[in-house]
Amino acid sequence: DGGITQSPKYLFRKEGQNVTLSCEQNLNHDAMYWYRQDPGQGLRLIYYSQIVNDFQKGDIAEGYSVSREKKESFPLTVTSAQKNPTAFYLCASSAAGNQETQYFGPGTRLLVL
Amino acid sequence: QKEVEQNSGPLSVPEGAIASLNCTYSDRVSQSFFWYRQYSGKSPELIMSIYSNGDKEDGRFTAQLNKASQYVSLLIRDSQPSDSATYLCAVNGYSGGGADGLTFGKGTHLIIQP
């Protein structure tokens, strides 16, 4: 059953804490992406990776970090430097190329305690 | 800074009528255009993609692209209550062939009235 999985579904962060969101895909896609969605807003790009061991900052990368050690995995760490982390985080993947469709995982909702 | 503009709505359409959703974009070199549907609390799912000027039809959905006017639209024929959702317009640019992230509009909230 091919697709994109994200875990956990809900995540609670305490002040000063780093948390990591998981994203795994078995679609054999080269490219993976992280987006953030705030209520009533569109999606904003945090980071993306076109190939293993390489990634680029998106529009709102400050306070976040990523790694791409495996083709299938693209974890996102929300660091304590991100002062307003409460949002819906969406991971996506696509084949290589600008015309390729991005497919989304089910999302992780991050809340601050 | 790339921008994608959509009317946030809500857009209310009677069941069985045509729903028309519009989107404009700022980056003239944009190459690829996508419409996603998002139900409340869920992740976006692709409805249509379009790359060339003109119309592209898929079932009840038609996407229209006019690059000269920097305008993309989505028509939904025979609207059903299950079409009630937020529709996101997304645009990809050109960076030498790489797979870059999308720039999204804020979405149009569509309500189909039974």
- Confidence (pLDDT) at B108: 97
CB interface of A with B, residues 40-99, below 8 Å: 40-45, 48, 50, 58-59, 90, 94-99
Predicted confidence band of residue A78 (pLDDT cuts 50, 70, 90) = very high
* Residue B105 contacts A where some CB pair is shorter than 8 Å: yes
Dist. CA A49–CA A31, nearest whole Å: 5
What confidence tens digit (pLDDT) does each residue in B51-99 have? Answer: 999 999 999 999 999 999 999 999 999 999 999 999 999 998 765 455 6
- Tracing tokens 């209310």 back to the chain, one arrives at B12
Q: Tell me which DSSP letter residue B53 carries.
A: S
Q: Is B60 helix (H, G, I), strand (E, B) or coil?
A: coil
Contact B43 A107 (CB under 8 A): yes
- Confidence (pLDDT) at B98: 58
User: How many other C-beta atoms lie within 10 A of the C-beta of residue B22?
Assistant: 16
Contact A99 B31 (CB under 8 A): yes
What confidence tens digit (pLDDT) does each residue in A22-37 have? Answer: 999 999 999 999 999 9
- Tracing tokens 């079409």 back to the chain, one arrives at B83
Dist. CA B35–CA B21, nearest whole Å: 10
Contact B99 A96 (CB under 8 A): yes
